[in-house]
């Protein structure tokens, strides 16, 4: 909005709810003017260059931009600890995509940083205050979270040029914390990423492809040319996880939840299939891994695997995405297992004819096996271990 500044006899730009004069709070206007703002006054936005830096130019949000000029938009992935995202349905009087489902967000205003804009938009649309809430991305030395992903759109024919910063916030909030602004949305819901994918397959979910790109980039933590190699951290991952199905102490669901809370991006379950610990309920194991794969789709990759011992054959095993080889036992001298792996069902420690020596159990079991079959010669026993493993 332009106003005539009486003191200096110049035209100045003033911002809604801000100072009514170029002198800031020391306004030369009558105080009542700060309370007057036309309903149809244009919303002012900053113009940015291709490096997302303000150019100093301020225009109406409806202005046509030239090549290399961009407006700023922000989107927010708001995720609860049980991995559901807050989504909203656009008001029916919106000129673009009326009634469509989306995640909260909008255009930045003049003078706002990207982080300021996403906090304001989310507060206006949902009533949630993001200040001091944890986000997925941050830069050393920065006082606030950074977007996990950004992209540019340039439509020179319509002058519709902009970039979008996507943020990912994970924090505890419930239905009672959400207050939807009626002018912005007509409905809201909590949905897993798998449910959002299903919604997109039926009727386009706004920004779906970009959301997936943001989550993939967040998972892989790709090295960029601008980021020094020394500053790059390997994404947390663990492909050797056990559960109550073998010798673990927690369920598959509990293990996945703990990994997610520690910001792991890649995990794999490798249940034991060996003479010492033999998973009996393979169907349940496969089912539970599939369940967490679906639950964390888009935010954490989960793989189905097995840990297979050299002493056993690989018959009657389910199809898995990877395997881990291990040598928990060595056959006693003269055992047929030296030439042919045994069946898991018959090759168990509880079998009276069990002829394997455990090498990663207690010291007493290892010592007793060495004394019984190698006359206490640990060097010869170790040589057999590596011969069997190879």
CATH number at residue 257: 3.20.20.140
Decide: 241 and 302 in contact? Cβ < 8 Å. Answer: no
Same structural domain for residues 276 and 248? yes
Given this model, what pLDDT does residue 139 score?
43
Backbone angles phi and psi of 33, in degrees to 5: -65, -25
CATH number where 87 lies: 3.90.79.10
Q: Tokens 């200040």 — which residue?
A: 131
Residue 121: helix, strand or coil by DSSP? helix
CA distance 206 to 103: 8
The answer to whether position 195 is within a domain reads yes
Same structural domain for residues 119 and 89? yes
Same structural domain for residues 372 and 253? yes
Same structural domain for residues 28 and 165? no
Same structural domain for residues 90 and 149? yes
Of the two residues 220 and 2, the one the predictor is more confident about is: 220
Query: Measured at the alpha carbon of residue 285, what is the angle toward residues 283 and 290, in degrees to the nearest 5?
Result: 95
- The DSSP bridge partners found for residue 191 are 85
CA distance 287 to 12: 66
Given this model, what pLDDT does residue 60 score?
93
Among 227, 253, 283, the domain-final residue is: 227
Give per-residue pLDDT as tens, 228-283. 545 545 668 899 999 999 889 999 999 998 888 888 889 999 998 877 677 888 89
Give per-residue pLDDT as tens, 15-27. 555 555 555 555 5
Predicted confidence (pLDDT) at residue 227 exceeds the cutoff of 80? no
The answer to whether position 166 is within a domain reads yes
Among 198, 227, 256, the domain-final residue is: 227
The answer to whether position 232 is within a domain reads no
Same structural domain for residues 169 and 313? no
Same structural domain for residues 303 and 332? yes
Same structural domain for residues 11 and 25? yes
The answer to whether position 340 is within a domain reads yes
Q: Tokens 């100093």 — which residue?
A: 56
- The DSSP bridge partners found for residue 77 are 168
Domain that includes residue 11, residue range: 1-41
Residue 163: helix, strand or coil by DSSP? strand
Same structural domain for residues 164 and 203? yes
- Which residues touch 214 (CB under 8 Å, ≥6 apart)? 77, 148, 149, 166, 168
Same structural domain for residues 75 and 220? yes
Among 227, 258, 280, the domain-final residue is: 227
The answer to whether position 158 is within a domain reads yes
| Structural domain count, the chain | 3
Same structural domain for residues 138 and 220? yes
The answer to whether position 86 is within a domain reads yes
- Which residues touch 343 (CB under 8 Å, ≥6 apart)? 312, 313, 315
Residue 306: helix, strand or coil by DSSP? strand
Same structural domain for residues 278 and 365? yes
N-to-C CA span, the chain: 78
Give per-residue pLDDT as tens, 275-315. 767 788 889 999 999 999 988 887 889 999 999 887 777 77
Give per-residue pLDDT as tens, 140-157. 445 678 999 999 999 999
Residue 148: helix, strand or coil by DSSP? coil
Q: Place 219 in a pLDDT band, splitting at 50, 70 and 90.
A: confident
C-alpha to C-alpha distances, 385 to 14, 354, 361, nearest whole angstrom: 80, 17, 15
Strands (E), 171-300: 185-191, 237-241, 266-273
Give per-residue pLDDT as tens, 48-105. 999 999 999 999 989 999 999 999 999 999 999 888 999 999 988 888 888 999 999 9
């Amino acid at each position: 909005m332009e106003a005539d500044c009486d003191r200096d006899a110049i035209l100045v730009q003033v911002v809604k709810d801000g100072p009514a004069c170029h002198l800031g709070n020391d306004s030369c206007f009558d105080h009542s003017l700060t309370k007057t703002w036309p309903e149809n006054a244009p919303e002012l936005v900053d113009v940015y260059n291709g490096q997302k830096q303000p150019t100093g130019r301020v225009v109406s949000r409806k202005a046509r931009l030239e090549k290399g000029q961009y407006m700023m938009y922000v989107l927010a992935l708001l995720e609860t600890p049980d991995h559901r995202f807050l989504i909203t349905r656009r008001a029916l009087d919106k000129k673009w995509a009326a009634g469509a489902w989306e995640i909260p967000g909008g255009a930045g205003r003049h003078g706002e940083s990207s982080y300021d804009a996403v906090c304001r938009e989310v507060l206006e649309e949902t009533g949630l205050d993001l200040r001091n809430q944890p986000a997925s991305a941050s830069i050393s030395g920065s006082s606030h979270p950074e977007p996990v992903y950004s992209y540019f759109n340039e439509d020179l024919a319509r002058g519709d040029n902009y970039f979008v910063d996507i943020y990912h916030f994970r924090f505890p909030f419930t239905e009672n914390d959400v207050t939807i602004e009626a002018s912005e949305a007509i409905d809201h819901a909590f949905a897993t990423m798998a449910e959002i994918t299903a919604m997109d397959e039926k009727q386009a979910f706004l920004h779906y492809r970009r959301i997936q790109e943001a989550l993939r980039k967040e998972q892989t933590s790709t090295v960029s040319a601008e980021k020094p190699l020394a500053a790059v951290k390997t994404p947390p991952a663990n492909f050797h996880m056990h559960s109550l199905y073998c010798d673990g102490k927690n369920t598959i669901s509990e293990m996945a939840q703990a990994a997610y809370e520690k910001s792991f991006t890649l995990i794999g379950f490798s249940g034991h299939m060996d003479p010492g610990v033999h998973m009996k309920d393979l169907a349940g194991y496969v089912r539970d891994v599939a369940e967490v794969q679906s639950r964390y789709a888009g935010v954490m990759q989960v793989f189905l695997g097995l840990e297979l011992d050299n002493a056993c054959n690989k018959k009657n095993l389910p199809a898995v995405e990877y395997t881990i080889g291990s040598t928990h036992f060595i056959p006693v001298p003269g055992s047929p297992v030296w030439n042919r792996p045994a069946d898991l069902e018959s090759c168990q420690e509880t079998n009276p004819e069990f002829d394997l020596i455990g090498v990663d159990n207690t010291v007493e079991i290892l010592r007793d096996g060495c004394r019984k079959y190698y006359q206490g010669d640990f060097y010869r026993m170790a040589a057999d271990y590596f011969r069997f493993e190879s």
